[in-house]
A and B are shown apart, each in its own frame.
Chain A
Amino acid sequence: MAAQAASKDDASAPPASLLRHPLFRPLAALAVLLLIDLIAIPGFFHLSIKDGHLYGSLVDIVNRAAPLMLAALGMTLVIATRGIDISVGAVVALSGTVAAMLIGGGPQAELPLIWAMAAAMGAALLCGLWNGVLVSALGLQPIVATLILMVAGRGLAQLLTDGQIVTVYYEPFFFLGGGYFAGLPFSLTVVAVVFAVIALMMRKTALGLFIQAVGINPVAARLAGLRTASLIIFVYVFCAACAGLAGLMISSNIKSADANNAGLLLELDAILAVTLGGTSLAGGKFSLVGSVIGALIIQTLTYTIYSLGVPPEVNMVVKSVVVFLVCLSQSAEFKQLFSRARAA
């Protein structure tokens, strides 16, 4: 509503409420990136339809960002409870590996596809349950609890495949990561469904409120009668499920499972996406839309850097500078310093 009102007024003086909207900064960052692309990359916004499928840079970016969006959605809820899950990458590797191994290397699946995928998701859910129990029942610090799985999970995936890349030749498996639905990449449908389900659960049930309460003050939440332990287990299981789905998507897209490299550092990108989306690592308030935008910012940034012909090795430097800038812009102390400097 506020956005519509603002666009009708002249653009030079947006109302203060719009500037203070939590999604303003992430959206502005994304807009700046897209503006750079508009100027610097010819045909960036060009979309075409071939064989009934939509093609173009924008579709490409959103498609590539799909696994990261899934991981970031799961991570958002974990961070909302003041937690962190650094085992996301390992879970991605594990679920992709399980699915690829059960499908096997032949043109026919060794196990029906649906069972292979169910087994992969089952492995991911077990990982989430493990993390959740360590955090809630044993009271381990989330970073330590998930560090265990981060180290051991990838080791397990490598053990299963003996460190080799498992290639899949079974066609139907490729649909998840490379198929099209309603003219758009199918991965987008998956993200949209996951987003819709979790957003409805957060908005239409009290779950969102409960998760915020745990993040703001776990002790108070427990004293107020919330089942904090089950809530914490739920968010870690959900996060792992998202990671497992992302793992299936990635291995389906590259038509193989690579236990060594699949999802490497994905947990850090997911945390980054959540932070860029305006969710504080201190827990409490969170924004699912923000995390999706954060993931889009990261992917657009990567795409921009590559398309501008900047050597890929600069990618990490640019990324880190953007993170520093975004973090500083969210710091109250920095804003104070800035306004004081302007007054002087």
Chain B
Amino acid sequence: MKSPYFTPLVTVVLLLAMLGIGGAVYPGLLSVQVILNLLIDNAFLLVLAIGMSFVILSGGIDLSVGSVLALATMMSAWLLQVAHWPPQAVIALVLLLGALFGGGMGAMIHYFKLQPFIVTLAGMFLARGLCYLISINSITIEDPLYLAMSQTQLGFLGGFVSPSALIALLMLALAIFLAHFTAFGRGVYAIGGNEQSALMMGLPVARTKVLVYAFSGFCAALAGVLFSFYMLSGYGLHAQGTELDAIAAVVIGGTLLSGGYGYVAGALSGVLVLGTIQTLIAFDGTLSSWWTKIVIGALLFVFCVVQRLMAMGAARRAAA
């Protein structure tokens, strides 16, 4: 059946059409740098969406990623500015704690059979609350390494990208490898398809599920590090509601929320679609920013309906 390729293909076609029409209406939109800016501005969202892809493919959901991102920026800023830690140690510690936070939630979900929605919702409150425990104000980061990461421009296809964009693309490559070429990836798909069957086949369900949430926590912390390169500050209000952007990106990228179906690479097209909508609205200049939300909602609607109709069509063909 060609369906698994079909939905992500629709996304890519729509993305190209959007860019094409946008380029015709707004001159200058199709310059290399504008396209690369999509990657630069959304590097953190791409990393979040990569982690979310694994969670959703395994049939779960992680609502805590936006808050963990904020917590990572806050911890980095505090450790650098107040505790004067070396930046390498700060980054390593933040990434480790992110993975532990996610893994802890994964363990609660698996071993105590709690619902992912509620556990990660509580995790979201916890991480956001911990941000405010560190400080209720924004902390500016003045570390030289962070400044360098923020200002470096790497030449790329006639334009430039930020180191963060490069890190995000490397993460994507790693994630695609993990999902499609390792036993872990096959386990994730199997659990998302049917956890009971996966267990009976002798797959390491417990380990895989905990690792999936740990990976998502790690990605959220990494996204936080990238976000603090971008904003050069830590703040408890950073990236509010980003978890839903990440979920939307994954869904637009063709992954089914029920799990077991889709591609990690779809996260990239999903993020680019969201970024392109925002760029189009910025280029127009006359639309108020509220339109962004309405257009994103409308697009999400179109996608879900197209996906759903295709799935129903496929089911009917299979029955006939």
Tell me, yes or no, whether B126 is within 8 Å of chain A by CB.
yes
- Cross-interface CB contact of A147 among B124, B288, B300, B308, cutoff 8 Å: B300
Q: Are A155 and B61 in contact (CB under 8 A)?
A: no
- Would you call the interface of chain B mostly helix, strand, loop, or mixed? helix
Q: What is the interface of chain A, defined by CB distance below 8 A to chain B?
A: 84, 134, 138-141, 143-145, 147-156, 158-159, 162-163, 268, 271-272, 275, 281-282, 313-321, 323-324, 327-328, 331-334
Which listed residue (A144, A147, A159, A319) contacts B290, Cβ 8 A? A159
* B96 CB to nearest A CB, Å: 21
Cβ contact of A323, chosen from B125, B251, B288, B293, cutoff 8 A:
B125
Given that A139-B312, A151-B248, A317-B133 are contacting pairs, would A333 and B294 also be in contact in the complex, using a CB cutoff of 8 Å?
A: no
Q: Does B128 contact A (CB under 8 A)?
A: yes
Q: Is the CB of B297 within 8 A of A148?
A: yes
Q: Nearest chain-A residue to B309 (Cβ)?
A: A138
What are 22 sample pairs from A and B whose C-beta atoms fall under 8 A apart? A138-B308, A139-B308, A140-B304, A140-B305, A140-B308, A143-B61, A145-B304, A147-B247, A152-B293, A152-B294, A155-B292, A155-B294, A155-B296, A158-B293, A268-B121, A314-B133, A316-B125, A320-B124, A323-B122, A327-B112, A327-B119, A328-B108
CA distance in complex: A317, B130 (Å): 7
A141 and B257 contact, Cβ closer than 8 Å, known pairs A149-B297, A152-B296, A333-B111: yes
With both chains docked as a complex, state the minimum distance between the C-beta of B3 and any C-beta of chain A, in angstroms. 16
Q: Closest CB-CB distance, A266 to chain B, in whole Å?
A: 13
Instruction: Write out the residue numbers on chain B whose beta carbons fall within 8 Å of the beta carbon of A140.
Output: 304-305, 308
B118 within 8 A of A: yes
For B249-264 the 0/1 string (1 means CB < 8 A from A) is: 0010000011000000
- Known pairs A159-B288, A314-B129; A281 contacts B117 (CB<8 A): yes
Identity of the chain B residue whose Cβ is nearest the Cβ of A323 in the assembled complex: B122
Give min CB distance, B185 to chain A, whole Å: 23
CB contacts (< 8 Å) of A144 on chain B: these are: 251, 257, 300, 304
A332 to B114, CA, bound (A): 10
A321 to B114: give the CA distance in the assembly, Å.
15
Q: Which among A151, A281, A332 has the greatest number of chain B C-beta atoms within 10 A?
A: A151
Say if the beta carbon of B206 comes within 8 Å of chain A.
no
CB distance from B20 to the nearest CB of A (A): 25
Q: Is the CB of B288 within 8 A of A163?
A: yes
Is B136 part of the binding interface, using a Cβ–Cβ cutoff of 8 Å?
yes
Contact A319 B125 (CB under 8 A): yes
* Minimum C-beta distance from A165 to chain B (A): 14
User: When chains A and B are docked, how far (Å) is the Cα of A248 from the Cα of B247?
Assistant: 30
Complex A-B, nearest 7 residue pairs according to Cβ-Cβ distance, in ascending order: A152-B297, A155-B293, A316-B129, A313-B132, A317-B129, A320-B126, A320-B125
